[in-house]
Amino acid sequence: MKFDIEMLLKNDVRIVVSTFVGISFLFIIVAMILGLDFNGTVNTIQRIMFLSAVYAMVVLALNLQWGYAGIFNIGVAGFMLSGVYTMAIITGDPNGLIPGLGLPLPIGIVGGVLVSGLLGLLISIPTLKLKADYLAIVTIGFAEIIRYTANALTFKTFSIAGVEMGTGAGRGIHLPMNPIRGLYYIDPSNMGLGKTIVGEYIFGFFEIVQVQSSVVVSWTYAIVLIFIVGLFYVVTYRIGNSPFGRVLKAIREDELVANALGKNTDIYKMKVFAIGCGLMGLAGILWQGSYGYTNPTTFQPILTFYIFIALIIGGSGSNTGSVIGGVVFASLLFEGPNFVRRVIMHVFKFDKAPNSIIEAMIPISSLDFEPFISYSLANISSLRVVFLGLVLVYIIQNRPDGLLGDRKELAASIDISRRPVTETREGKEA
């Protein structure tokens, strides 16, 4: 009974691809309304795909911990930071302003994942006896300690056993060049030196349709990320849809029962915490890896809040729901408001927005809503948090299981919903 692959191909892949295609189509319409050229449209879709892939990865990792095992880790941002910073320190130029170890990127990535996973393991040992809310307090505290450590002037540069390294403190730290550039340019750090054969061919092709080379590089990175989302999915799906995943679900439901049925729940919790944190670290690396630079401000606790909203939207406990949640959150709820602002401003041509909410609200008394709308649109980034809160309240009240959380996703490596057909004397019997 080939349960997983067939089921995936039949249903879940179709759901995910449809969501990606639907959202891309929506943003093509937005780009058309905004009058963007083909390059601008392609660039817009790339940004949406990139962020969607990043969120899908982290949400899948969180789903493993919270959706399956019920481990309330609200230090996600801290584990992402630890991955990125470890990678930056390992790969940093030993003679740079913020010195690093100068090791190759793959070692940096593996190191980042391992350190995030090990930090997860370390924090799990003393804390997994804690109830959900206390564990939440500890994890967010831990994440903030990591962020403050990265931000601390003391660690701007430091040395261990005579080896200089540092976090760059509040100014942040440089990350290795986007490795995708190596595919297209002879010297990724100096584009002037010329393109590789692949670069010549691909850039040449896209030049015909007036897509800039930088957009091609970004798109390639986004495609790599989408592929890695697929790998994340396979890993989390295999863990979740197995006897291991069954124990995780049992821990979520009633840890004592799992224990009374012979499962050493502490070990399972430690393993899933370490794996989840390692994947969060990797997601952080892949997210910030394309920017060439990161700083502690990027990893504020609100990032964890965003990831939880994405998981709740998609459906906690469902891997496919996690991907859908990540995509819907990143495209419609996170990036969407900015595009709504741009579209409205483009269509209605508002005057300059008032400087304060008071100035925006006074004209309402004379039924003039324009200053208020204009002010709201100008401050849509701040209002986004309010909007997200409203969406969260709505979902929890009306669809508490999320978009796909009400599906029965059985934790087994085979289809356990059907009775195996057994041969009897009379013939086949269900």
Partner 1 sequence: MSSSKVKRKLSGRKKSAKKYPLKVEKIGKKFGGISAVNNVSFSVEKGSITGLIGPNGAGKSTTFDLITGVTSSDTGVVKFNGEDITRKRPYQIANIGLVRTFQITRELKEMTVMENVMLAPKNQMGEQLSNVLLSKGRKRVESQEEEMLEKAWETLDIFHLDKLANEYAGNLSGGQRKLLEMARVMMMDPSMILLDEPMAGVNPTLKNQIITLIKKLSKKGYTFLLVEHDMDVVMNHCNPIIVMHNGGVILEGTPSEISTNERVIDAYLGGSE
Q: What is the DSSP string of 301-333?
A: HHHHHHHHHHHHHH-TT-HHHHHHHHHHIIIII
Q: Considering beta carbons, is residue 163 or 261 the nearer one to partner 1?
A: 261
What's the start-to-end Cα distance of the chain, in Å? Answer: 15
- Residue 225's closest CA among 177, 296, 281, 282? 282
Give every CB contact of residue 280 below 8 A, 6+ residues apart in sequence. Answer: 58, 61, 62, 76, 79, 80, 83, 116
Other Cβ atoms within 10 Å of 424 Cβ, number: 8
The two structure tokens encoding residue 412: 């087994």
What is the DSSP-derived secondary structure letter of residue 400? Answer: T
Write down the least CB distance from residue 414 to partner 1, Å.
Answer: 5
- What burial class does residue 172 get, using C-beta atoms within 10 Å of its C-beta: 0-12 exposed, 13-18 middle, 19+ buried? buried
- Pairwise CA distance, residues 203 & 192, whole Å: 15
Write down the least CB distance from residue 265 to partner 1, Å.
Answer: 7
The gap from C-alpha 32 to its chain's centroid, in whole angstroms, comes to 28
> Pick from 95, 366, 398, 422: which binds partner 1 (CB under 8 A)?
422
Q: How many amino acids of this chain bind partner 1 (CB under 8 A)? A: 39
Q: Considering beta carbons, is residue 24 or 242 the nearer one to partner 1?
A: 242
Write down the least CB distance from residue 274 to partner 1, Å.
Answer: 10
Of the ranges 111-119, 238-246, 342-350, 378-386, which one interacts with partner 1 (CB under 8 A)? 238-246
Taking a C-beta distance cutoff of 8 angstroms, is the pair 174, 96 a contact?
yes
Give every CB contact of residue 106 below 8 A, 6+ residues apart in sequence. Answer: none
428 touches partner 1 (CB under 8 A): no
Write down the least CB distance from residue 59 to partner 1, Å.
Answer: 19
Write down the least CB distance from residue 413 to partner 1, Å.
Answer: 5
Write down the least CB distance from residue 320 to partner 1, Å.
Answer: 17
190 touches partner 1 (CB under 8 A): no
> Pick from 352, 419, 425, 428: which binds partner 1 (CB under 8 A)?
419
- Residue 175's closest CA among 90, 51, 300? 90
- Pairwise CA distance, residues 85 & 112, whole Å: 7
77 touches partner 1 (CB under 8 A): no
311 touches partner 1 (CB under 8 A): no
Q: Considering beta carbons, is residue 107 or 267 the nearer one to partner 1?
A: 267
Of the ranges 26-34, 122-130, 390-398, 419-427, which one interacts with partner 1 (CB under 8 A)? 419-427
Between residue 240 and residue 269, which ones bind partner 1 under the rule CB under 8 A? Answer: 242-247, 249-250, 252-254, 256-265
389 touches partner 1 (CB under 8 A): no
Q: Considering beta carbons, is residue 116 or 265 the nearer one to partner 1?
A: 265
- Judged by the rule CB under 8 A, the positions of this chain that interact with partner 1 are 1, 235, 238-239, 242-247, 249-250, 252-254, 256-265, 271, 275, 317, 408, 410-414, 416-417, 419-420, 422
